[in-house]
Amino acid sequence: MKIIDGKKVSIEVLDEIKSSVDNRVKNNLKIPHLAAILVGNDGPSKTYVNSKIKACERVGFKSSLFKYSDSISENDLIDEIQKINNNDDIDGFIVQLPLPKDINQEKILSQVDPYKDVDGFHPINYGKMALGIDTFLPATPAGIIELIERFKIQTAGKKCLVIGRSQIVGRPISILLSQNKIFGNSTVTVAHSRTSNLEELCLESDLIISAIGKPEFIKGDMVKKGSTIIDVGITRVDDSSSHKGYRIAGDVDFNSVSSRVSFITPVPGGVGPMTIAMLLKNTLKACSLSD
């Protein structure tokens, strides 16, 4: 069994980005600028945005944070997005999710300039991804592909099971793994809440990517020996033995599954760190497009 160390790979990616930024500075080219919109005071969202800002500092990016009250109207938020769209100094920006319930998430995301959509959620970029046209890929699926490439995990002709059909992870990674590319060409099945034979599908699969948010749902007796497991789930589980009062758990019961598989991502330290790294990689790409 080999651990897919996302933290280590993310550091490698960030170092590569920093090297590119250093070269841009030497050649008097623009320094990439990433901005984030944060609506409300959601704790995990604030933590995630702060992590992005720190990552920007690490690689030499400029960064900006636009904070708004959760009472902001949908129209006012759209006006703020248009201001960022028209700001030539900002290369890419994200709207941190989730948004307040009274704001239409799809409508907001569609207002982002596709050329600044470093989250890869705009319908134009999503469509390009589906067609195999070069574009900004959603950060978490892009991070998964990066891990597969760097660990040289074979996907061609393999049976891949994606558990979860969200537009952020499940659907895009199923598209990417089925495409005719070096680290693609898988036969992909997408499972969801209505799937009736999930255990059977798991046992048949060479690669399982789980993104359902059910802590330790996948057990050792559900996986094929020698398979690869990529755990995207991240849930806070009450734990009185922890000084925080909780621990972070993935969708996979690591202890029972790890002894049966060839590759597995830990939680934390697997897919999570890759998401921010790929967001910055998209931002560097956005900046380079304006050279």
Average pLDDT over residues 16-39: 98
Q: Which parts of 163-257 fold into alpha helices (H)?
A: 170-178, 198-204, 254-257
pLDDT for position 228: 98
Tell me the average pLDDT of the chain: 96
Q: Which of 5, 91, 96, 116 is catalytic?
A: 96
pLDDT for position 116: 98
Contact status, residue 189 vs residue 159, Cβ threshold 8 Å: yes
Res 29 pLDDT > 90: yes
Contact status, residue 139 vs residue 120, Cβ threshold 8 Å: yes
Judge whether 107 counts as a catalytic residue.
no
Res 176 pLDDT > 90: yes
pLDDT for position 10: 98
Residues 6+ apart with CB under 8 A from 2: 151, 262, 263, 264
Judge whether 96 counts as a catalytic residue.
yes
- Catalogue all structural domains in the chain, each as residue range(s) with its CATH number: 27-128 (3.40.50.10860), 139-273 (3.40.50.720)
Q: Which of 119, 206, 231, 253 is catalytic?
A: 119
Q: Is the pTM of this model over 0.75?
A: yes
Confidence at 89, pLDDT banded by 50, 70, 90: very high
pLDDT for position 76: 98
Q: Which of 5, 52, 91, 117 is catalytic?
A: 52
Average pLDDT over residues 164-174: 97
Judge whether 26 counts as a catalytic residue.
no
